[in-house]
A = this chain, B = another copy of it.
Amino acid sequence: MTRGKLYLVPAPLDFGCDVETPLQEVLPDGTLRIAAGLSHWICENAKSARAYLKRVDAIVPLAVAIQGHSICELPREVHKKGDHHGQFDARSMFDVFPAGCDVGLLSEAGMPAVADPGTSVVRAAHQLGFTVVPLVGPVSVLLALAASGLNGQNFAFVGYLPQDPEARTRRIQELEAVAIKSHQTQVFIETPYRNAAMLKALSHALQPSTRVMVARGLTLPTAQVRCETAKHWRSSVPDPAAERMPTVFAIGR
């Protein structure tokens, strides 16, 4: 059977934020044009996918009206447990689509399969013989790293840190040890309402001279990237507005 393409379609980073980013600010024409031409989707959330398609349609008219799209959600267990251990076989998800058609993979924000579910779908696409095509768009982890001034020639993204304070402190110190020994920048994320707790934990668990980058609301009008020593952050006053903003953290020397 001839297989089509699986396009990895990036979304803007304003999901759940007060302000919408105009799509042309963060998505190339090439990405918008391909997204507008697709009508078979695998996504994190069908409602968000439809909202995204409406925004695309306002710039590049969709080839097929939204009602005519087939939109399949990744199963809930993939969201909950994460999609990175490869236990979920996503091949059957492609059964609902006509043979040979192109499929889009879409997250709620940013690039599918990077710091987000979708890996199992990409893996299945490779197994089924799809051509996998990643499209250009915003990736918060990478924008943050570039803007940090920390080492971008050797870095790791490690996802979320533990929630338990003691386990989190241990993990922070483990990451700091790697950052010092291998000169490898360590990047991670947190859910917005825990940002202040994370920054406090970092500023106390790290050695005073270790640098900590906090990147908030990237691509939004209120975007802010700061990189200071742990010592500096220890005496900084928390910004309540930051509690609702998607944030990327990084540590390095």
Contacts and interface: CB of A to CB of B under 8 A. Distances in A.
Contacts of A147: 8, 113, 122, 132-134
A186 B212 CA distance: 23
A144 to B, nearest CB: 8
Interface string A212-253: 000000110001011100000000000000000000000001
A112 B146 contact: yes
A119 B149 CA distance: 5
Interface string A8-50: 1000000000000010111111100000000000000000000
Interface in A123-162: 123-126, 131-134, 136-139, 141-159
27 contacts: A8-B146, A83-B153, A84-B152, A86-B151, A113-B146, A113-B152, A114-B146, A116-B152, A116-B153, A118-B152, A119-B151, A119-B153, A123-B227, A126-B227, A132-B149, A133-B225, A134-B146, A134-B147, A134-B218, A136-B143, A136-B219, A139-B139, A153-B159, A154-B156, A154-B157, A154-B158, A155-B157
